[in-house]
Amino acid sequence: STIIPDEQKPKKMQLDSQFNIRAPIDEPGTIRTNDDVHTTIRLCPATKTIIDTPQMQRLRGLKQLGTAELVYTTATHTRFEHSLGVGHLAEKKVRGIADRQPRLGITEKDVLCVKIAGLLHDLGHGPFSHVYDGLLHDL
């Protein structure tokens, strides 16, 4: 096993004052939302600002399950709900990687960027967009 001097060890996740990010437990401005799958999803001020945009709010009206609702009438899940869950899981995953592999030097800014990528991954979708995947694939 190799011994690494303290000055060469990567630092734990640190505050990035440019983005005003901290470990999100009870940071002022942090909100929590309840979720059927993930129980509680925490949203820091930066992610809350993104979620409040018209582009994100538009996802509330787009169904994630496509035409499945026609067969399973009580099955509802919007792209907005889905995006919140993806952002939450992306954050959990990168924090887990940071804890298990500290040499990577993952910062709070990195965590936020991955979480935002998860939140925004569905912004380009229109209604029933995956229904036509097979048709468009053949063109």
Please give the structure tokens belonging to residue 82.
Answer: 């889905």
* pLDDT given at position 35: 72
Q: Pseudo-torsion of CA 73, 78, 82, 83, nearest 10°?
A: 180
* pLDDT given at position 88: 94
- With a CB cutoff of 8 Å and minimum separation 6, the contacts of 16 are 107, 108, 109, 112
- Of residues 49, 51, 56, 78, the one with CA closest to residue 66: 78
* pLDDT given at position 116: 96
* pLDDT given at position 74: 80
Do the bridges between strand 31-35 and strand 39-43 make them parallel or antiparallel, or are there none, so unpaired?
antiparallel
Residue with tokens 């993930």: 38
Per-block mean pLDDT, blocks of 10 residues, the chain (139 long): 46 44 57 77 89 90 78 83 93 95 94 95 72 61
* pLDDT given at position 29: 78
* pLDDT given at position 102: 94
pTM above 0.85, yes or no: no
Number of helical (H) and strand (E) elements in the chain, helices listed first: 6, 2
Three-class SS of residue 12? coil
* pLDDT given at position 135: 64
